[in-house]
Amino acid sequence: MNTSQIVWVKNLLDSRYLLYQNGKQVGFLVNSAFKMYFTGELNGKRIFLNPRGFLNSNLNIFNSEKEKIGEIKFDFWKLRAKIYFSDSEEYEFAYTNIFHLNWIVAGNNKSVNYTSTISNGSFEFENFQDEKVALTGLAIKSYLVQHGYSISTVIFLLIVLLVVI
């Protein structure tokens, strides 16, 4: 089995993931504050993930030439996502433990396995290496965390409002 591991580091209040392989920086993933726009690069290959519309929670995936190469459709109730690339590749994002510290992006007998702590983690390719798939899996995790914080904040504010009234 051919594997390749990338380590990522993220400061708690930073929106940047710095990606390293064998101690050398090989990429990054950056989230634009509050907009859910992502820019990622790994081994010289860049992608962009943008919301499909103002109220639509799905994301479009673009290559470095700004051509649409795929999309992500979320199932927030199950905390899952499906990734569709225009070259007929399909992958599924799913958490693999109850604490949401490990997750996988898998499809067509290929997978990227992720492990994390609060400020760092790693992902490992199994049976292939595709930068766009790996970056997309990391962006989905970040998106779900931020989306969860948004929902939690709204619920908290509603509770406070109900208590005050």
Average pLDDT over residues 153-158: 58
Backbone angles phi, psi at 118, to 5 degrees: -65, -40
pLDDT per residue over 25-62, tens digit each? 999 999 986 677 999 999 999 999 998 766 667 899 99
Domain containing 151 equals 3-164
Domain holding 68: CATH number?
A: 3.20.90.10
pLDDT over 70, % of the chain = 86
pTM of the model: 0.84
Spatial distance between the Cα atoms of 92 and 159, rounded to a whole number of angstroms: 35
> What are the tokens at 69?
């190469």
**Alpha-carbon Rg for the chain in angstroms:** 16
pLDDT digits (tens, 9 = 90+) for 112-142: 999 998 789 999 987 778 899 999 999 999 8
Burial state string for 133-143 with b = 16 or more CB within 10 A and e = fewer than 16: bbbbbbbbbbb
Residue 131 three-state SS: helix
Residue 136 contacts residue 105 (beta carbons within 8 Å): yes
What does the alpha-carbon distance between residue 67 and residue 15 come to, in Å, rounded to a whole number? 24
**How many domains would you assign to the chain?**
1
Task: Please tell me which residue, 85 or 32, carries the higher pLDDT value.
Answer: 85
